[in-house]
Structure 1
Amino acid sequence: MLRFDIPPVWSNAVRLDALTTFLISAIALAGAPYLMFLLIVQGLVRGFFRHGLCPMHRVFTRVLKKLGTAGRQENAGATMFANKLLFIASSVATVLWLTGSVMWVVPVSVLMAFSFLEAAFSFCAACWAYTLWHRLRSR
């Protein structure tokens, strides 16, 4: 479902959000899994409230607008869904890490893969799935 009750997001700010997710995930895999707490907070704020409340997203938007490279505005519904998945995956990874399981690397690796696709190629797998699900549901 398209979300018209919240402001749209700038496409390149969303790409920078994905790049941040990729970098934090890579650093976590390199030996700092406690950084996954940052992704939990980002996923919570951007996924369940709105992007405009996330300080990092606000900075990205402001800088990109000043540079004139903010891209186009997109409906926030699909990106909010993607951020809900970010919240879930980073929460699972953190719980697994806190319990001493080495399986925490699986959700972090998945986050790395999908956030790389978003940052590098503007392909949001969660957004695509969100749109497909709503199309099938409306038939």
Structure 2
Amino acid sequence: MQPIAIQLGKPWIVAELRTDGFAEAARRLADGPVYYVVVDPRFAEKLARIFASAPGAANLRVLVHGRDDPDQIPEAAPVYLTRLARERLPDRSRLKQIMPQARVFTPDTARQIFTFILRANLAALAE
């Protein structure tokens, strides 16, 4: 794909995800239910694919904010919240094991995306 992008004069970014957060969640799945609260249902589907082969995959519980009831999450269950879910979930006080927010993209990918956005905006200003 990269040669085609170069021939067409289009940008090319390979997005790499950090795996450390997913590895920790996979480890926890073997011990019992692990909850994710997401905003985008497509990410819910992606999480199911990511953890499909993990031991304890049946313990994955993905809730979509606005569709599923977060009150079904047991107080002591480990919970991962996406950034938008954190912003939109009004009261998280009863949840005792909210995992720290982690970056999804590797630092190199984040740098590539930032550089692309910066260059695109500078080019738009120059027009």
Q: TM-score range by the shorter chain?
A: under 0.3
More helix by share: 1
Structure with bigger gyration radius: 2
As a proportion of its length, which structure holds more strand?
Answer: 2
Q: TM (normalized to structure 1)?
A: 0.24
**Relative contact order, higher structure (CA 8 A, sep 6+):** 1
